[in-house]
Structure formats: C-alpha cells, structure tokens
Amino acid sequence: MKDLNNLDVTVHSDMALGHFNEAVSILCRFGDPVPQAQEMLAIEPTFVMGQVFNAHISLWSTDRDDLKAAVDSLNVIRSVASGMFNRRERMHVAVLEAWVAGNLHRASVLLDELLIEYPTDILALLSGHQIDFLVGDASNLHERVARVLGAWDSQHPLYGYLLGMLSFGQEESGHFELAEQTAREAVSRNPKDIWGIHAVAHALEMQNNYVEGVSFMRKHEATWSTDNGMVSHNAVHLDLFLLESNDLTGALEAYDKYIHWTNVQPMPMVLLDGSSVLWRVYLEGHDVADRAKRLADSWRSKIGQNFYSFNDAHAMIALAASGDFATASDQIKSLKEYVKYGDRSASNHFMTREVGLPVCEALLAFTQGDYAKSIERLMSVNNKSHLFGGSLAQRDVFSRTLLESAIRAKRKPLANALISERLIHRPQSTYNHIKAEQIKTL
C-alpha cells in the first residue's frame, strides 16, 4: 500500500493506513494525533510505521515519563521479523533505536540519510526538524528542509508546512527578513499552520518588530490559542512582544491565561514556557514569587529526570526564583552525579556536561546574590549555549542573566562588552537601550 506521499508502506488494513495518514496530517499542524494513533494500532498492532509514529510523538515530549511508550512501540516492532519491512521502514527503525537509546545526534544523521533517499517522507522530516531544535543545530534546521524541498510538488497540500519549517531554520541561522517572508507564505497557504505562525513570531522577534509582533499574534490568537500542542509556546512569543512594549500587565495576563494556569498538565514544554517568561520578569526586579512557587510545584514531578538538559535549566529557574534553594541544590547534585556516572553515549550527557550544569549553577548563584559565580559559569558557556538546544529567543534568558549579573556586580567593562554585542544584533531593542543607560551609571 501507499501512504499520503505515495511511499510504500507495509500494512494490511486500509483503515489503519487511513488513520496513519490522518495522524501525520494532524501532526503537521500540531494538533493532537494521539486518537488517530490509538485507532490505527488497535486495528493493526504490528503496523511498523504506526508504531514508529507512536514512538516519535512520545519522544517529542522530551519527558522521560513518555519514554516507556516509545520503548514499548520499539519492542512490538522487534517482535516482527525485519525481513517483513521495506528498506525505508528499516531505516526508520534504526532511527528509533538510536533515539530511544538517547543518541539524538545519531538519530539526526540517520534521518538525514533516510531523507536523501526518500525526500517526501514527511514524518522523517518533522521529527528531524524537532531533533535539530532539541540539539540546537541551527544549520540543519534550515538545510534539512532545503535538501528535500526540490523533490516536493509545490501544490502538494502539505507543502506549506515545509515552508514553516524552512522559515524557522532560516531565522535560527540569522536570515531574519527571508525567514519572515517564507513564514508568511506558509501561513497564507495554511492559516492554521501553528508552526508557521510561530516562525513569523520568531522572525519578528529577531528583527525587534515588537509592535507588528503584538498585532500579528493578536490577529491569529483565535488560531494559535486553541486545539494544538503549542498554545503555551506561541503565548510566550506574544509575551516577548508585550514585555518589549513595556506592557507587563498584558504579559502576565497572557501568562496566566495561556501558559501556566490552575491544574495545568505538567508537560515539560508548557512548564519550560512558563519559566522562560517569568525569569525575564524576575530579572527586572518584579515580584513573581507567587507565580514562581506555583510553577515550581508543577515542575516537581519532572525534576531529576536527567533526560533533556534544556528542561533541567528551566526547572532550575522555577526553583531558584521561588526561593526553594534546598531542592535547587539537590537538582545540581543530581546533575553532577549524572555527569559523573551517566551514559556518555547519550546526547543529553554531553549537553548537560558542556552547558546544562554550568547554566543551572549560574541560575542558582544569581538568585542567591552570588553574581561573580553566575558570571563565571555563564561566561564558560557563552559561545556554546546552543549545544543544549532551544532557539535564539529561548536562550536569550541566559544572555540576559549574564548581563544582569555583570550590572549587579558592577563589572562595567564586561557589561559594556555584552551590551555592545546585543546592540549590534538588535539596535532597536527597548530592553537593550534600557540596559545601556543602566550601565552608564555603574
């Protein structure tokens, strides 16, 4: 049988394949594909691409609690003779083996190889794009999509989603104006393209076009704020524009409505988004104690996972900002033990050792008033923070922490150097100009 991109699929049930195709289409727009995945596997449990899909969406969460579902899917696949699968499916299984083992960098390479042979494999592209983001590979965020784009019919109903991915890679690679143009085309093709809307927001953020950013996000609010897995993340982008506009009240209202509310499910991405916003507010001396405590409470079930270092850093933000220094210190102890005894073949081990642990130490030091230590730890990762994932906008919280540490420590030469660097990249930034004026008085 053939899937929605006319690729051969080993499956016996037309209904199972139909659910698979629908699940992939839903994933493109960041809807909830779980019901479709459950239906297809209930119909045909040994459907290899169905089990691959189920494993992928579990691993996207970056939550160790979801690893079991991916392992279970892999075990079902292993129970079937590999000779029953075609070459593309076997390549997918190899990717899954590496990903479940924690070797994201190996999985990325294998997905590149798969996409060179099968450039219209949309699941491979979607997951490759996510892995590129998780490991901070800005170049491949752009190039992976660029390599396959020529093989696609521009009239294909999913083609616009590729443009949203391409745009995000362009933005993370520094091509901000081009990224905006590409993302707006993606949204014009598919107005409900959540990743495309997100890509426009990133491009506007990097160009410091916060007035247009607020307008754009408000215009599309009914779309990005409902029925998708990126509500909290797109709300962060609205908040970044509002904070740059000095609208603290509006930013906190959006935080309470879309990012962290009563009884929110403690999913790492949602909690990470909460930390990202609150830390920016905290750095400027505003009272976030109550919100930080509630956020830290939500993080507690995910603390100590040692599964994705970028999450660990954002959990540390909530703990440190809430004043729970005891749990924060335990978290750092856990990270140190992981670096010493953990699986060195796992991508997360490298990411924690090189960036995550120093960042966590810096965040705790900052909240305890030890700005010298915060500076020392953040300077050690200043030119390699991308190695533990995230976007330019997300990692800016750590750059801001370094700058604020330099200001509070009255390290004027360092503060001048840091603000000079920021102004070169974003000369229009209100935040940058406020900090430049503060530095003059040191």
Instruction: Express each pLDDT in 182-229 by its tens digit.
Output: 999 999 999 999 999 999 999 999 999 999 999 999 999 999 999 999
pLDDT value of residue 119: 98
Calculated CA dihedral for residues 81, 56, 133, 190, nearest 10 degrees: 120
Instruction: Express each pLDDT in 106-128 by its tens digit.
Output: 999 999 999 999 999 999 999 99
Token pair of 194 as six digits: 């959540």
pLDDT value of residue 417: 98
CA-to-CA separations, 111 to 60, 94, 105, 125, in angstroms, rounded: 15, 9, 10, 8
pLDDT value of residue 15: 98
Distance CA 198, CA 217 (A): 9
pLDDT value of residue 82: 80
Mean pLDDT of 271-291: 97
Tell me: pLDDT of 64 over 90. Answer: yes
pLDDT value of residue 246: 92
Q: What percent of the chain has pLDDT over 90?
A: 98
pLDDT value of residue 406: 98
The model carries a pTM of: 0.96
Residue type, 65: D
Distance CA 163, CA 176 (A): 14
Mean pLDDT of 422-437: 95
Tell me: pLDDT of 81 over 90. Answer: no
Closest CA to 15 of 49, 53, 42, 51: 42
Tell me: pLDDT of 370 over 90. Answer: yes
Tell me: pLDDT of 83 over 90. Answer: no
Mean pLDDT of 368-395: 97
Tell me: pLDDT of 239 over 90. Answer: yes
Q: Which residues contact 57 (CB under 8 A, 6 or more apart)?
A: 27, 33, 34, 37
pLDDT value of residue 195: 97
Query: Other C-beta atoms within 10 Å of 213: how many?
Result: 24
Instruction: Express each pLDDT in 316-325 by its tens digit.
Output: 999 999 999 9
Band (pLDDT 50/70/90 cuts) for residue 263 is confident
Give Rg (Cα) of the chain.
22
Band (pLDDT 50/70/90 cuts) for residue 262 is confident
Residue type, 63: D
Mean pLDDT score of the chain: 97
Band (pLDDT 50/70/90 cuts) for residue 283 is very high
pLDDT value of residue 19: 98
Q: What percent of the chain has pLDDT over 70?
A: 100
Instruction: Express each pLDDT in 340-368 by its tens digit.
Output: 999 999 999 999 999 999 999 999 999 99
pLDDT value of residue 130: 98
Instruction: Express each pLDDT in 289-308 by its tens digit.
Output: 999 999 999 999 999 999 99
